[in-house]
Amino acid sequence: MAQNEQLLEQIKLTAEKLEKVKNEIHKKIVGQDDLIDSILIWLFWKWHILIEWVPWLAKTMTVDTISKVIDLKFNRIQFTPDLLPSDLIGTEIYNPKTWEFKIKYWPIFTNMVLADEINRAPSKVQSALLEAMAERQVTIWNETFKLEEPFIVLATQNPVEQAWTYKLPEAQLDRFMMKVDVDYSNKDVEKNIYKKINTDFYDVKVEKILTKQEVLDIQTLLKQIYVSDNIYDYVSSIVDATRNPKDYGLENLDKYIEYGISPRWWISLIQWAKVIALMNSRNFVIPEDIKQIASKILSHRLVLSYEAIADGLDAKQFINKVLENIDIV
């Protein structure tokens, strides 16, 4: 009993600390709550995020501010069609004075990488980035180097332009646990942005709230959040319904599905729910945690048929229909 009380107290203190982190970030960033929550959650689980929408919506500034508040190293890489793998991970450079080759490390050696407009880079660069994302290591010539923990990639994708862009391979898309669509802010939020930029914006300094070690401690704490068998059954049914709609009374959706959710997304759904429980000072996951984020996570890797596109049904609408028909045991 004492051990459980100690865990609850630790969770409560962590939730309060995370609230302070978000408040500190909002000293610099107006709005973007969904993006901030997504980055924080996947940072604790060491997963990667794909961010999509047009430029100039404070994506880079948001990531930079988060890195300062959490005291993590941050590098931004502008992806271009002529980018080479060595520009991303590093290379061997010859020193004529010593007659020796020396490894020169490049931007991937950090805690948070912002891969800006990732869909502009050619396949060789994508391959080098994929190793870092999947294995948390890079290979330079015949040597392999481990990346520092925590390590996450936040990639932006410009959906507007098609010239000199490349479609991301399915294997790489599968490494992004979530795609965040950063939309325009509403009129009132944008008004506050304009006021801030024209007053004290450039003088605002954010303070460090979390340390790198505390981030690693939170990763350990999340493993102690309890998930009941009923929750596992509920999530299993949701995922299986995306593959076999007929088995759940969703015959009308069967023609819309090409490929259902993979086990990787099953795992990420539970992990996200654990962070929501922690942020709400709970040591257990409830069904509402799953409902809150299911469409955000699962829709990213759900492949719909051409009939769904023709009928105007998107992946989030499909997931919501599934949620309406799955009973909580």
Please say whether the beta carbons of 66 and 110 come within 8 A.
no
- Examine residue 150 and say whether the peptide bond preceding it is cis (omega within 30 degrees of 0): yes
Question: Could you state, in chain order, the average pLDDT of each consecutive group of 10 residues for the chain (329 residues)?
Answer: 74 85 80 75 75 69 81 84 81 81 80 83 80 81 81 78 68 72 68 67 76 83 88 88 85 82 77 86 88 76 81 82 79
pLDDT of residue 183: 65
pLDDT of residue 56: 63
pTM of the model: 0.77
- Considering only CA atoms, give the Rg of the chain: 21
Residue 84, C-beta contacts closer than 8 angstroms, at least 6 positions apart: 124, 125
Structure tokens, 286: 């409830």
SS3 118: helix
pLDDT of residue 25: 82
- Examine residue 96 and say whether the peptide bond preceding it is cis (omega within 30 degrees of 0): no
β-strand partners of 295: none
